Amino acid sequence: MELRKIFGSNVRHHRKALSLTQEALAEKADISIEMMGRLERGEASPSFETVESIAKALGLPAIAFFGSGAFIAPEGERGRLLHRVNAALANMNEDDLARVTRMLEAFAGK
């Protein structure tokens, strides 16, 4: 997958995780809604300034937009389950993640 598509996919993922519209993120990052759409679709390459602006608007380090496949699950049923859990966690907001973390820690006896 090419870098600008990875970038766009990760921006979209993080934007949705925060329940922001493209318009809201574009406004926070001080870029046009049209450019935000093109970036998320991987049709445009962002400048370093744009990457930093979007990262700041989402409260993330800029490097968060360039990783792909960082989570490598084992094969088989365990891998499928871990993939499902990871996908569900990725769509949660911070409050939900904090709640799930406490539940997992209690379940694991920590």
Same domain, 80 and 30: no
DSSP secondary-structure letter at 74? Answer: P
Q: Which of 45-49, 100-104, 106-110 has the lowest mean pLDDT?
A: 106-110
- The domain that holds 34 is classified in CATH as 1.10.260.40
The tally of domains found in the chain comes to 2
Same domain, 17 and 59: yes
Please tell me the predicted confidence (pLDDT) of residue 16. Answer: 87
Instruction: Kindly state whether residue 71 falls inside one of the protein's structural domains.
Output: no
Same domain, 32 and 83: no
Please tell me the predicted confidence (pLDDT) of residue 72. Answer: 47
Q: How many CB atoms lie within 10 A of CB 70?
A: 7
Same domain, 61 and 81: no
What letters, b where the CB count within 10 A reaches 16 and e where it falls short, cover 38-49?
Answer: bbbebebebeee
Instruction: Kindly state whether residue 85 falls inside one of the protein's structural domains.
Output: yes
Instruction: Kindly state whether residue 70 falls inside one of the protein's structural domains.
Output: no
Range(s) of the domain holding residue 94: 76-108
Average pLDDT over residues 87-104: 85
d(CA 27, CA 6): 22
Please tell me the predicted confidence (pLDDT) of residue 108. Answer: 85
pLDDT digits (tens, 9 = 90+) for 16-74: 888 899 999 999 999 999 999 999 999 999 999 999 999 999 988 888 888 755 544 55
Residue 1: partners with Cβ closer than 8 Å, 6 or more residues away: 68
Instruction: Kindly state whether residue 37 falls inside one of the protein's structural domains.
Output: yes
Same domain, 25 and 50: yes
